[in-house]
Structure 1
């Protein structure tokens, strides 16, 4: 019988946990040409302590050694004039010698069963993992569109209205309250955005705000990254009072990309209309060209169940994982 222990994030030995994660993902990292330099105790401690609360980790041990685990962190979900707790399931890992024993599904089930009826359980699994989530009564919601700007070097537009900063403030909260859509989507506020980007223990992000008449009319977040052997810039967040402002933000980031010595610009975004994306020189990449089809799956109960399942979530790069 598989014994799964559900542990609060504050009780985890992060030194041992980070070492386990590195061992479990080593073969995948080698295949993808990635490093494990980001998998530090400090990273996981930060990741599992969000503004919405403390994460949970389901672990299976042999003796004192972790051989399999799944984790989830709490985030706030904006859903039709209400705010709910959504548990983002991630960091699912099993040591190579312990695979094919049902540990993966057992740890997922322990996490999902701990979620209260008024809360949401969601994830962005790979193709091999989707059947396990479907067994837990999760539903596929939306495929994340990957957009790429392959010719950022041809764009030199900058806009005086766009200012770069290193943190979010009250002006962003006012914009968010007035302009962001009803959802479903992860809730934005300066507290969450500063935790997510400004306080990230590993990565450095650039924050761009579009200001007009002394008011914030939109913002974007970008960072340099190394993905699948390529250097590029990722647009993590993109929000504007209208799509025309979002196009200006993307053009400004393209010019910033060149200053960083990069040429390729990419983002995941489920709500960007093709017409406006093309204006910023972004094209959608068919999912069969990608190493992983990014898809949101979720389980919801309670009064908001139908709304959360039937409506396509508004997802961006920064929602997918805290990289």
Structure 2
């Protein structure tokens, strides 16, 4: 079988979605991600402000059997902003597994795109194959939880309008000498406001912003912070209190923050770390530097940098 590389604009979206539905339909997250298995969702996902996705796929006698996608992204690096590629949608139909097919697709993408930085948030099944292609662990997105017991005395703020991003502060790109994903108004509107499958909520205060969404974890309705940006820790703390009061009013029992960056100490006092073995998936960021060179610097990552939620 020969790997076929296609730009998203040339992809047969309907066949591609059928492959993903077949590959992931029996996963533990099937009920949570089922709304994304639509052509509309992938027409949105594969055409971001950073550019057009590239998809590698393999077909057999039974049709499309394996596929891996690369989405363009923009990265802050010590030498300035650069283009990168995020690997995702790693899919193989059950009848064709354990034959190394997704590795062939990934190898083709690395050969085509490996002159740029490549990143991936793999699951346990795909991690070994990703590492064999020159990716190394760059960061772990740790999970923290704050129980919510009520909205408190002060009324929670109304949700902000997405137009309020015009006045928002997007913070420092990354720690000195480090790497992070570029976040700006155009990208955030595409990533969250325009998402056809998931509904997100925006809160803002004094130029700070926080994007979150409701989620079901451990059988209970919770709030998940996708990403947050603030000019200083004091404003960040007050904004998070706003988000917590709003979530409690909506009868969500806990607020989750998922980040690789150290939390401000006043937040660390209120948020408990969740051991990774209690979570369905350990969120590790794997990175392949251009040409397969060794990893350098720190990576600052929030859960919104991965499209799984």
Both proteins in one fold, TM over 0.5 = yes
Look up the match of 1:271: 261
Task: Please report how far the alpha carbon of residue 96 of structure 1 lies from its aligned counterpart in structure 2 after TM superposition.
Answer: 0.3
CA distance in 1, matches of 2:159, 2:252: 20
User: Structure 1 residue 210 and structure 2 residue 223: aligned?
Assistant: no
Instruction: Give the distance between the partners of 2:261 and 2:235, measured in 1 at CA.
Output: 14
Q: CA deviation at 1:73?
A: 0.5
Name the residue aligned to 2:73: 75
Q: Deviations over 1:12-37 (max 9, x none)?
A: 122221122111112214x7654522
Q: Which moved more, 1:195-204 or 1:257-266?
A: 257-266
Task: Give the one of 115, 127, 135 matched to 2:132.
Answer: 135
Moved over 6 A (4+): 159-163
Contact conserved, 1:159 with 1:248, CA < 8 A, in 2? no
Alignment partner of 1:255 is 2:248 = no
CA change 1:305–1:135 in 2 (3 A) is closer
TM-fit CA distance, 1:233: 1.1
Query: Please, which of 274, 289, 296 is the counterpart of residue 300 of structure 1?
Result: 289
Cα drift, residue 107 of structure 1? 1.0
3-state DSSP class of the match of 2:214? strand
For normalisation by structure 1, the TM-score amounts to 0.87
Partner of 2:234: 244
After the TM superposition, which residues 48-87 of structure 1 pair with which residues of structure 2 at under 5 Å, given as runs? 48-63=46-61, 65-80=63-78, 82-87=80-85
Q: Once the two structures are superposed, what CA deviation does each residue of 1:95-121 show, in whole Å capped at 9, x if it has no partner?
A: 00011111021111111211152x111
1:196 shift after superposition? 0.5
Of 82-91 and 32-41, more deviation after overlay is shown by: 32-41
What TM-score does the superposition give when structure 2 sets the normalisation length? 0.90
Q: Quote the offset at 1:77 in angstroms.
A: 0.4
Q: CA RMSD in A?
A: 2.5
Separation in structure 2 between the aligned mates of residue 96 and residue 256 of structure 1, nearest angstrom? 42
Mapping for residues 159-178 of structure 1, pairs under 5 Å: 164-167=160-163, 169-172=165-168, 175-176=169-170
Q: Which stretches in structure 2 are left out of the alignment for 5+ residues?
A: none
Q: Which residue of 2 aligns with 1:181?
A: 174
CA 1:107–1:158 in 2, change beyond 3 Å: closer, same or farther?
A: farther
CA distance in 2, matches of 1:226, 1:236: 15
The DSSP-based 3-state class of the residue aligned with 2:125 is coil
- Name the SS of the counterpart of 1:114 in structure 2: helix
Match of residue 156, structure 1, among 149, 152, 159: 152
Q: Deviations over 1:132-155 (max 9, x none)?
A: 111111111111111111x21245
Residue 196 of structure 1 corresponds to which residue in structure 2?
A: 191
**Aligned residues of 1:163 and 1:208 also touching (Cα < 8 A):** yes
> In structure 1, how many angstroms separate the alpha carbons of the residues matched to 2:285 and 2:196?
26
In the other structure, the counterpart of 1:146 is 143
Distance 1:180 1:316, change over 3 A: same
Q: Which residue matches 1:22?
A: 21
Asked whether 1:316 is paired with 2:302, we answer yes
Structure 1 gap ranges (5+):
none
Q: 1:133 to 1:296 in 2, by over 3 A?
A: same
- State the partner residue of 1:287: 276
The separation in 1 between residues aligned to 2:230 and 2:240, in whole angstroms, is: 11
Q: Distance in 1 between matches of 2:110 and 2:216?
A: 32
Are residues 33 and 196 of structure 1, via their aligned partners in 2, closer, same or farther at CA, if it must alter by over 3 Å?
closer
CA contact (8 A) 1:58 1:70 kept: yes
Tell me what 2:104 maps to. 106
Q: For 1:153 and 1:160, how far apart are their aligned partners in 2? A: 14
The C-alpha deviation readout for 1:182-222, integer Å capped at 9, x for no partner, is 541100110111111111111121111112xxxx2x21111
- SS of 1:310's equivalent? coil
